[in-house]
Structure 1
Amino acid sequence: MQGKHGAEAGTEELREEVDRARHELGETVEQLAAKADVKALAREKAEQARSRARDAAASAWQAAGSEETMARARQGGIVVASAGALAAAAVWMRRHRGSTRRVGPVRVRVRTGQRRAVKVRRTK
């Protein structure tokens, strides 16, 4: 025969086990709900992306502000300016040369019995 305390001890253990199981189940449900919350996950990912972009921008600004980078930028500007000046000079020379160019004598070959020239050739 079982006494009163033995039955209560078994029942108490079962109640504690049920309470633990409920608690674990509640935690599992909370974890699953957190994983299923797409809006919160999207917000978190967006915040991470913004943070990475801010860090990248800050490092780019820091790198751009260094003396070495500024010197290279100035040197690059000089190269671009000189290339532009050279191109402008070439265009000016081509236009100017075209207007003052002297045309040499022209040699026209006409076959007998024809009205138009067969061959026109400039001679130097």
Structure 2
Amino acid sequence: MSLSVLAVDDSRTIRDMLGLALGSAGIEVHLAEDGIAGLEALEGLTPDAIISDINMPRLDGFGFIEAVRRLERFRATPILVLTTEAAPELRARARAAGATGWIVKPFDPPKLVRALHMVAGQEDA
């Protein structure tokens, strides 16, 4: 079974890298440039997992995660934070908002793919 992922990041470079890395692993990737665009994208999607940056304009990752968790159909959807931030208090804040996991950039594409399969319940993929 193929995974579907929504990746939300304000960096065009990171979005391109995610699209290439995940797409080449057979993952269907949808991209959004900030939390507002991510929420708009979710109106027409039901991804198996979500990846979100923290530092973004308009709606940051914390606000995005909190908004996603308020939507009934996404309460159990895994959300991985992908960010340059490493502070423990930010990790704790993301967990409190509803994040499933935390990955610090730069990311290792195979590890990210494995993490996505793991959180989506497809460890054997």
User: For this structure pair, what is the TM-score category when the shorter chain's length is used for normalisation?
Assistant: under 0.3
Structure having greater relative contact order (Cα 8 Å, sep ≥ 6): 2
Q: Which one has the largest radius of gyration?
A: 1
More strand by share: 2
**TM-score (normalised: structure 2):** 0.16
Could you state the TM-score of these two structures normalised by the residue count of structure 1? 0.16
